Structure 1
Amino acid sequence: MKIYEVRRLEKVYGKNAATGTALDGINLTINKGEMVAIIGKSGSGKSTLLNLLAGLIPLTQGTILFKQENMDTFKDKQMASYRNKNIGYIVQNFGLISTMTVLKNVLLPMKRKKDALKALGILKQLGMEEKADKYPHELSGGERQRVAIARALINDPDVILADEPTGALDSENGANLMDIFKALNQKGLTLVIVTHDEGIASQCNHRIKLKDGKVIEDILVNQ
């Protein structure tokens, strides 16, 4: 099943003479159950592509289909619903609210703030249940990343979108994170990971390489 179909996608920033092309007519397909690495040097368009898939910024031209629905036709409420119900987004540097406990950070995407049992269950799966009442500054980098993952999982998303998730971690915690991602992927979750790390990319079964806003490599492994 196709999760995303991207066709002739363009993203241009700025106006008139002061424009810059972040994505230049790219095409790609992401299927259910894939673990996808989007790789490339800084400025290649990786994060822009992830933000477009998340519906966080408007495209300039082209089409993004999510489960055969054209995302460009979504009204504001539809887009908010799409992000809340279908997407778990993991930002660089974790994105936790410093004044909230671990548990409250995990519950942020939930409409029903009383659904703490589910959040605690996810934290337990990630080895973080005993940290539920701690605050982000009391956690290590690896622990904060696990909280960010728990928050991304709380609404049972179809897709996890992760922007440089190992960028703020040491090598040991980065390896632990990838073990978590691979375990989630083995359960059928689709993951799209932006990274500049070839070691991370080599663990994914679908690798898409960008350069100057274009796809220069699109490889499926073990398919």
Structure 2
Amino acid sequence: MSARPPRPAAPSLVGVDLGRRFEDGESHVQALAGVDLVAAPGELLAIVGPSGSGKSTLLHLLGGLDRPDTGRVLLEGQEISRLSGRRLALVRRRRIGFLLQFYGLLPGLTAVENVAFPLLLDGVRDAQARALAALASVGLEHRGAHRPSELSGGEQQRVGLARAVVTRPAIVLADEPTGSLDSATSRVIFDLLRATAAAATSVVVVSHDPLVERYADRLVRLEDGVVCAAASPPPSVTSTPAVTVG
């Protein structure tokens, strides 16, 4: 009897018909219009385009940092764009990892304390052990006792990535993660993001860095708030998950 083929992986993140408009006095700016996006487990998806094209706005909607005016965002089948503020904050902390251009580390905490912080908020008993393991995954287990001011920019960004993955999230969203780094250090960060995706976590990167195209499985190009070029959805994604309204 032949073995059954593996079931297609459900998408980690789905954005459907996303639109966002910002008011500016009596006028408005349409930052995004009709954007569709699917991110699958195990892939690194890059969102590229010129400044002002809506890349960061899109990432903020996908991560629940802002809400769309039109459309919906689904994370693991749950429509997070309609959750209450409290429930959305829990989803962000537990199921989404964020990596920012300017690191966002707490200056008074050591590297291991910064990484453990989201776990401590949830009362996780083995928070320090998991934080140390996350630091080891980015090659910084020997720097755990150092504060951000004692670390290089590249090391701080690696601490940021360790913090992003320590909760074992469904997806990591990275906003210009190499914008403050030299090319050699940028390659280190992209190597680590590539390894994060290989561990079956979805990774979505917004970047101007031309290196990103070497690492991405797929590219989505934005221009004036609309998708001007995008690869087809990954072959493992066969349908949009059911919507759960919170």
What is the letter of the counterpart of residue 71 of structure 1? I
Deviations 1:93-135, CA, capped at 9 Å, x for gaps: 1111112111111122122276211101111222211211111
SS of the equivalent of 1:8 reads strand
Q: 2:179 aligns with which of 167, 172, 175?
A: 167
Could you list the structure 1 runs, at least 4 aligned residues long, displaced by more than 4 angstroms after superposition. Answer: 220-223
**Residue 145 of structure 1 corresponds to which residue in structure 2?**
157
Deviation at 1:165, TM superposition (A): 0.4
SS in 2 for 1:2: coil
**Residue 3 of structure 2 corresponds to which residue in structure 1?**
none
Structure 2: any 5+ residue segments left out of the alignment? 1-9, 236-246
Helix, strand or coil at the partner of 1:88: strand
Please name the residue that 1:2 is paired with: 11
Query: Contact 1:11–1:61 at 8 Å: present in 2 too?
Result: yes
Alignment of 1:50-129 (within 5 A): 50-110=59-119, 111=121, 112=123, 115-129=127-141
Which has the larger Rg? 2
Paired with 1:143 and 1:80, the residues of 2 have a C-alpha distance of 27
Name the stretch that deviates more: 58-67 or 104-113: 104-113
Superposition RMSD on alpha carbons, in Å? 1.8
Structure 1 residue 220: deviation in Å?
5.2
How high is the TM-score relative to the length of structure 1? 0.94
Aligned residues: 223
Tell me, in whole angstroms, the C-alpha distance in 2 between the residues paired with 1:64 and 1:195.
21
Give TM-score scaled by structure 2 length. 0.85
Match of 2:26 among 17, 40, 51: 17
**Residues 140-178 of structure 1: per-residue CA shift (max 9 Å, x gap):** 111111100011011110100000001111111101111
What corresponds to 1:205 in structure 2? Answer: 217
Q: Is the 1:205–1:222 Cα contact (8 Å) retained in structure 2? A: no
Question: What percent identity do the matched residue pairs reach?
Answer: 34
Which of 192, 197, 202 does residue 204 from structure 2 map onto? 192
Quote how far apart the aligned CAs of 1:24 are. Answer: 1.3
Give, in whole Å, the separation in 2 of the partners of 1:75 and 1:5: 19
Structure holding more strand per residue? 1
The answer to which of 101-110 and 137-146 deviates more is 101-110
